[in-house]
Amino acid sequence: MTLLDAATKVRDNAYAPYSRFKVGAALRSTAGHVHVGCNVENVAYPEGTCAEAGAIAAMIAAGDSRIAELVVIADSPAPVPPCGGCRQKIAEFAEPSVPVTLATTDGQSIRMTVADLLPGAFAPAHMDRA
Ligand code: THU
């Protein structure tokens, strides 16, 4: 199964009764394993979590640690970029050159990198004097 297929499939499980906007994410780790996530909303809106965060949590829970490639899919007029918080979460576990594909259910896609999504990312090296 491709990452796009995996993201499409997990999107069906998204819990999005408030926004009605289902998102699926699938990543391949550097170890070669696929981990998936979907958005999980909450009646207390800020407690909801994004699909990307779910996929990252699944990766860490599985004992895996680094992202080699990521795909995000939603039913939207144009490919949906990860939110600001997710960009920082992705950058924690991916090299700047890692490819990120943003896709729509009607077949559009944009390919970018982690560095494109979060230029000038705050990184561990910034704390070297701490
Ligand atoms: N959402 C994601 O899961 N990932 C994104 O990249 C953009 C937004 C979710 C959060 C919320 O459940 C819904 O989409 C609307 O913002």
- The domain locations on the chain are 3-127
Q: What are phi and psi of 96, to 5 degrees?
A: -55, -30
**Amino acid 90: pLDDT:** 98
pLDDT of residue 19: 98
Cα of 129 from ligand 1 centre, angstroms: 36
Q: Full-prediction pTM beyond 0.75?
A: yes
- The 3-state DSSP class for residue 108 equals coil
User: How does DSSP assign 55-68, residue by residue?
Assistant: HHHHHHHTT---EE
Separation between Cα atoms, residue 84 and residue 90, nearest integer Å: 10
Across the range 26-31, mean pLDDT stands at 98
8 Å CB contact between 73 and 24:
yes
Q: Is 117 in the pocket of ligand 1 (CB under 6 A)?
A: no
C-alpha to C-alpha distance for 24 and 51, rounded to whole angstroms: 5
> Separation of 39 CA from ligand 1 center, angstroms?
6
pLDDT tens digits for 30-75?
999 999 999 999 999 999 999 999 999 999 999 999 999 999 999 9
pLDDT value, residue 130: 93
CATH superfamily ID and name for 3-127: Cytidine Deaminase, domain 2 (3.40.140.10)
- pLDDT at residue 50, rounded to an integer: 98
**Confidence band for 126, pLDDT divided at 50, 70 and 90:** very high
Substitution candidate for ligand 1 out of 18, 42, 43, 50 with most atoms within 8 A of CB: 50
Report how far residue 77's alpha carbon sits from residue 39's, in angstroms, rounded to the nearest whole number.
Answer: 19
Give, for ligand 1, the residue of 83, 89, 90 to mutate: max count of ligand atoms closer than 8 Å to Cβ. Answer: 83
Per DSSP, what are the bridge partners of residue 9? none
Please compute the mean of the pLDDT values over residues 121-126 and round it to a whole number: 92
